[in-house]
Structure 1
Amino acid sequence: MEKKYFYTEAMTVGYQGIPLIRDIQIHISQGEILTLIGPNGAGKSTILKSIAGQLKLLGGAVYLDNRELTKMSGSELAQKMAVVFTERIRSEMMTCEDVVATGRYPYTGKFGILSEADRKVVAEAMELVHMTELRDQDFMKISDGQRQRVMLARAICQEPEIILLDEPTSYLDVKYKLEFMTILQEMTRKKKLSVIMSLHELDLAERISDRILCVHGNYVEKFGPPEEIFVPGYIPHLFDMTVGSFEEGSGLMELEAPQGAPAVFVIAGAGTGRSIFRQLQRKGIPFAAGILYENDLDYPTAKALAVQVLSAEPFEAVSEEQILAARYWIDQCSEVICCRDSFGVWDQANARLLEYAKQCGKVNLIAQSSTERDRPKGM
């Protein structure tokens, strides 16, 4: 039987005695990552603050290593749980290193004097989030992204068993987002650190989480591994999406497709067409695409943005009927864009379509791999 390291029993959270979300039942094992997702204002931060003890529970209980959190002393809880939320901390006249060092206070006694061992932990935490060069700078004079890294280092410096993070990647660029997620993952593996966090980046949530909690309205709608959450149609439902699209298999988000009869037919495949699809979308030019295998890299984007997609099942030969259907759409369009400069054995149907388009005098671009070639008309 799976050991529950962290779990809740019928937890109810809210403000000023008014319940917001009732009967929250979640659990993770030691060394696992739990991510909260859902629309803005759904209550993700409220759940985190209630677990952290910043908000009083309106019902139920929270357990860590089979002990109820409310039964632990402040210092004991501080050694087990670290919190990184978005609220500003008071840090007048404090350097970044000073702020990180406050993470050692649960271990230093009432005088707050750091030992050499404490200072070593502080230095290692700063190095881990790549902020050693900031250690002597005024914490209030650095950027929001840099402050976020300092606060992450402070939490790591605390050497907790579980860490709570509310949108920890909000102010981080792509490089530091990936680096921080890598750090979290390494710490869960090597130190059995348990993580509970909220994220807006669904692609990151799907990739890093062991379990996901979906908050929808005033209740928890789903709880389970990513494979049970990122199923076709669920994420658009969770976020009440009315425009654009989200493709669960790839985490791909696209804006709304142009409307109207297709003016352009795109011959693509193997990821060569995505940039052209998006260029056409940005210009509001409706287009058709094909023939694409349904496991092709271009297929999710084409499916989201094209008026018409001619597709074939993976590893199946393209039929004459499918070729005729594609030729029909070429006839309806005033222009054909080919993103390929060669065709493999399984792509001979598209080679034939290109020849047909040339015979019709409609090809004015072979995109190949260059971004500087002639653009479609109107682009």
Structure 2
Amino acid sequence: MADYYVELKELAVGYRGEPLIRDINIGIEKGKIVTLIGPNGAGKSTILKSITRQLKTISGSVYVENEELQKMSYKDMATKIAVVLTERLKPELMTCHDVVATGRYPYTGRLGILSKEDELKVDQAMEAVHAQELGSRNFQEISDGQRQRVLLARAICQEPEIMILDEPTSFLDIRYKLELLGILRNMAKEKGITVILSLHEIDLAQKMSDKILCVKGDRVAGYGTPEEIFTSEKIREIYEIDNGFYDPCFGSIELPKVEGKPEVLVLSSCGNGIPVYRKLQKAGIPFAAGILYPGETDYQLAKLLAAEIIEEKPYEPVSDAAVKKAMDVMERCGKVINAGVVIGRQNQKIEEVLKRAGEKKFFAV
């Protein structure tokens, strides 16, 4: 067996003996973050529930430190694995402090009495997710976002070696999404905790994960680093996108470009064109962009949104040919937007285009 901390080997998962996804073979190193992505209903939650034995696997095995998970006692599992799933927990008459404290039960005796050390760990876990003020409140009377933070605190309090979370950012506003994922990242890097989670926000998955597991159809659609998985083509294939684009440079979803002949030429550099491109797209105005170098931020977005791009070879001075093309496009459009071109040694000739636009009174107001 390979030297992995967690390994899914020939795993098939599903319901009532019918496999939904087959042939899952992945290895996860200790202290790494693996994120499951894929369309709704693809089986991400099914995989997570099967790993945690909430669902019986159809075939195959899950190993932790070369020990088969199915053969572990539930108490041993509870000291190794903490779980935060999407099902609504409905404890009767329990405060948030009480809910978090259940994370210590694998370490208490039969009576479940918490020691001073246990209580300290409960307080520290609540502090980690900024939920101290919720301690005395009824768990059923707080918001969904607050519940998610309390459940994360319970998982932290459990002091697991592996943390499994199903869509943990659901119901959270952007501040707490970032905060939660930051906590998970720190736990993985500083404490060596292995994190396996599912996310709908693929931009966040790209930025925080070590490996990505793509779930689609009856088999794994891909497993690799974010650089390997997050390409326009791969994301288009996984989510069957036919009405827009995924931009791996910005980690963003873009609406389709406005088709048609360019009505305005946007001159920009150093990212200054990006807000102008988006404004024109929203207004339904096809545009040309230039003079741009492949690799700069304006160029990356212009590839997706612009009807036409005037470009120059990387590291080369702007050529007469590029200037002529820009002039031709400008004449056809009859309108120019200077989004804030920064003139340097390599692109000095853009000044010729700006001068001609001024002479022709092409600048848009």
Same fold (TM over 0.5): yes
| Distance across 2 between alignment mates of 1:318 and 1:341 | 13
SS at match of 1:250: coil
Correspondence 1:140-219 to 2 at 5 A: 140-219=140-219
Q: What is the count of residue pairs matched by the alignment?
A: 365
Structure 1 stretch 263-272 or stretch 350-359: which is displaced more? 350-359
Correspondence for 2:28: 28
State the TM-score, normalizing by the size of structure 2. Answer: 0.96
Q: How does 1:94-105 map to 2 (within 5 A)?
A: 94-105=94-105
Instruction: Please tell me whether residue 12 in structure 1 is matched to residue 18 in structure 2.
Output: no
Asked whether the 8 Å contact 2:12–2:23 carries over to 1, the reply is yes
Give the stretch that moved more between structures: 148-157 or 137-146.
Answer: 137-146
Describe the SS at the equivalent of 2:346: helix
Alignment-derived partner of residue 220 in structure 1: 220
Q: Distance in 1 between matches of 2:137 and 2:327?
A: 65
Question: Residues 50 and 2 from structure 1, CA distance in 2 versus in 1: closer, same or farther, beyond 3 angstroms?
Answer: closer
- Structure 2 letter corresponding to 1:38: G
Gaps of 5+ in 1: 366-379
Partner of 1:375: none
Secondary structure at the aligned position of 1:345 is classed as: coil
Mean alpha-carbon deviation: is it higher for 50-59 or for 249-258? 249-258
Instruction: Answer whether contact 2:13 2:20 (CA < 8 A) is retained.
Output: yes
TM-score for the superposition, normalised by structure 1: 0.92
In structure 2, distance between residues paired with 1:104 and 1:160: 11
Distance between the aligned counterparts of 2:47 and 2:268, measured in 1?
46
SS in 2 for 1:322: helix
Give the 3 Å change call, closer, same or farther, for CA 349–33 of structure 1 in structure 2.
same
Cα pair 1:210 1:226 within 8 Å, conserved: yes
Residue of structure 2 equivalent to 1:314: 314
- Structure 2 residue matching 1:40: 3-state secondary structure: coil
Shift of 1:341: 6.2
Partner of 1:333: 333
Q: Give the drift of 1:351.
A: 2.3
Cα distance between partner residues in 2 of 1:205 and 1:299: 24
Aligned to 2:364, the other structure's residue is in SS state strand
Change (3 A) 1:55 1:29: same
Question: What amino acid does structure 2 have at the position aligned with 1:194?
Answer: T
For residue 118 of structure 2, give the secondary structure of its aligned residue in structure 1. Answer: helix
CA distance in 1, matches of 2:342, 2:30: 51
Structure 1 contact 254–301 (Cα < 8 Å) conserved: no
Report if the CA contact (8 A) 1:235-1:248 is conserved: no
Q: Secondary structure of the residue that 2:212 maps to in structure 1?
A: strand
Match of 1:361 in 2: 361
Shift of 1:187: 1.1
Alignment of 1:336-351 (within 5 A): 336-340=336-340, 342-351=342-351
| Structure 1 position 243 matched with structure 2 position 243 | yes
In the alignment, the residues of structure 1 paired with residue 346 and residue 124 of structure 2 have an alpha-carbon distance, to the nearest angstrom, of: 53
Identical amino acids, percent of aligned pairs: 50
Distance in 1, Cα, partners of 2:348 & 2:2 = 52
Consecutive aligned runs of 4 or more in structure 1 exceeding 4 Å deviation: none
Deviations 1:291-325 (A, max 9, x none): 11112121122111111111223212222111111
Maintained 8 Å contact 1:188/1:194: yes
